[in-house]
Amino acid sequence: MSDSYLYNGQRPDDHVASCPDCGAAVALLDQPGTAVPPPPALRAAVLSMARRRRSPAAVGVAGVATPYAEQVAVMDELLAELSAPQWEAPIARHGTVRGLVEHLTANDATVAAFMGLPGRDAGAPPHRRWREQAGSLLERVSASSEVLMGVEVSLAGARPARAPLRQAMIQRTFETWTHADDIRAATDRSRAAPRPEHVHMIAEFGLALLPRAMRGPRRDVSATIVLTGPGGGTWTIPLSPASDHVAVLISADAVGFCRLLADRWPPGSFPYAAEGDPSLARDLIRAAATLGCDR
């Protein structure tokens, strides 16, 4: 406290002498090895006061660009590790790892074209084609405005659907993770889950699409989905605009549910608990398994 500055017209030592709070703080600093933990409620109190002064900022472009960047980096590292024989390892839905990467590149291309990116170099190796396109897409999205995030684009998948660019980028994150896990399984590597907050985001993306994936006439009810574990949460999904009450509550693991959404967990063996209408619960689980990008 010996720097030569003034605080409200006082020198530091004069201020400390006349201020009980600062005096107590200096006394603590002068006692080496006597760290005092903050009160347990301090963090909550500070955050509460901060939020009263200013609401949390809305999730912007970074909210969807960052998860995609992480999955692109993970996939890039994984592909760089593959041996020549591993590129030809069989994968049921796409023939080989090479075919899967070409499929992912083609699905990414829909959003890339919307963002004005040039077409892919057909003569380049699959890893380079995918990586260059994904990197350019990430750069273009990261530099875009929040307004653009709300513009509708086509989603990947057999079911024709359009959604805001924000949702399309979540789907790109979801599919990149899913196919990285496919490659891990095909090359005897362990599966890996995204960060919990990204699992939550993927689950929310799939649940928003769930009502339109239901077959048959829409029922005038809602369903509550409780996902547990890292990335979990609770959502109540109206199955029609006129839904008047919750007819079923389904509980399942959050990461497992995301794998169900990708059709990587057969709906007939997916573990879940349900209260209420068991038939509706089965229909919802079957519908969830149709929301992947392979069909």
Helix (H), strand (E), coil (C) string for 128-187: HHHHHHHHHHHHHHHCCCCCHHHCEEECCCCCCCEEEHHHHHHHHHHHHHHHHHHHHHHC
> pLDDT band at residue 5, thresholds of 50, 70 and 90?
very low
How confident is the model over 140-187, as pLDDT tens digits?
999 989 999 999 999 998 877 899 999 999 999 999 999 999 999 999
Has residue 3 got a pLDDT over 60? no
Residue 33: predicted pLDDT = 54
What is the distance between the terminal CA atoms of the chain, rounded to a whole angstrom?
Answer: 68
Has residue 6 got a pLDDT over 70? no
Q: How far is CA 112 from the centre of its chain?
A: 19
Q: What's the CA gap between 19 and 255, in Å, rounded?
A: 54
Has residue 21 got a pLDDT over 80? no
How confident is the model over 117-147, as pLDDT tens digits?
987 777 889 999 999 999 999 999 999 899 9
Has residue 11 got a pLDDT over 70? no
Structure-token pair, residue 183: 């490659």
Contacts of 190 by beta carbon, 8 Å cutoff, 6+ apart: 184
Torsion angle of the four alpha carbons 173, 178, 184, 187, in this order, in degrees rounded to the nearest 10: -120
List, in sequence order, every residue forming a beta bridge with 115; answer none if it has no partner. none
Q: What's the CA gap between 52 and 62, in Å, rounded?
A: 24
